[in-house]
Amino acid sequence: MKLTLAAVTVGIAVAGSFSAKALTYTDIQYRHAYVVEGGKAITGRFDIVNPGSSSYSISGYGSENGTFNDAGGYVLGTDLFSLVASFYIRDDSTDSQGKREKVDINLGGGPQEVNNLNLVNGGKTYISFGGSSALLTLLESHGTLRYRIEAQKGDFKLEYAMLNASTEPLLASASQRVPDGGVTLGLLGFSLLGLFGAARTINSKE
């Protein structure tokens, strides 16, 4: 019985040693920038090495509400598994010309993301999208990622911009994480199989 308990303890310790803690880096920015059709684009840069120490409580965006804090300290060259760029946009006022807002978002110099907003009377919307492998490589190399936003139609305000990057997958809501895919449980299972094998060997000798 003492051997059995020791084997179980070792099995759990080995499995736990392979379950590394994932790291998530965040840069949340309050822009409050007015964007108008035919006007100057809004540009910015996300930084997960030194994002600052900002903390913002966002409301009016439904399930995307919450309090978000800067979390930096990324070491250049560290493998990143995923990133999510998020933009919180509010209609400036009622559009007397009946135009529906359309926003172009460019992240890291890649292809533009075009979104029809359909905002009226100060309505709010939330746009987020994940990054390609090229953007992940760019972020790993520099720790920063530039963005550019312009109005293709109508006008609106960019209230907040946020980047989340993680060493494991990110869900649609950038603040959440997913499990480790069962690696820890798998290692524990192998340890337990070894335990049963050892127990059978001992019983056969008695």
**Interior CA angle at 88 toward 86 and 91, to 5°?**
150
User: What is the rounded distance in angstroms from the CA atom of residue 99 to the CA atom of residue 139?
Assistant: 36
Q: Does residue 9 lie in a domain region?
A: no
Q: Give 5's pLDDT tier (boundaries 50, 70, 90).
A: very low
Structure confidence at residue 18 (pLDDT): 39
Could you tell me which residue, 50 or 98, shows the higher pLDDT?
A: 50
Domain, as residue range, for 139:
20-172
Structure confidence at residue 12 (pLDDT): 32
Q: Does residue 35 lie in a domain region?
A: yes
Q: Does residue 92 lie in a domain region?
A: yes
The domain total for the chain is 1
Q: What percent of the chain has pLDDT over 90?
A: 39
Q: Does residue 10 lie in a domain region?
A: no
Q: Does residue 184 lie in a domain region?
A: no
Average pLDDT over residues 45-68: 95
pLDDT in tens, 97-113: 556 778 888 898 876 67
Could you tell me which residue, 114 or 6, shows the higher pLDDT?
A: 114
Q: Does residue 59 lie in a domain region?
A: yes
Q: Assign residue 40 the CATH number of its domain.
A: 2.60.120
Residue 75 amino acid letter: V
Structure confidence at residue 72 (pLDDT): 97
Q: Does residue 151 lie in a domain region?
A: yes
Q: Does residue 139 lie in a domain region?
A: yes
| Buried/exposed 59-92: b ≥16 CB within 10 Å, e otherwise | eebeebeeebebbeebeeeeebebbbbbbbbbbe
Q: Taking the complete model, does pTM exceed 0.75, yes or no?
A: no
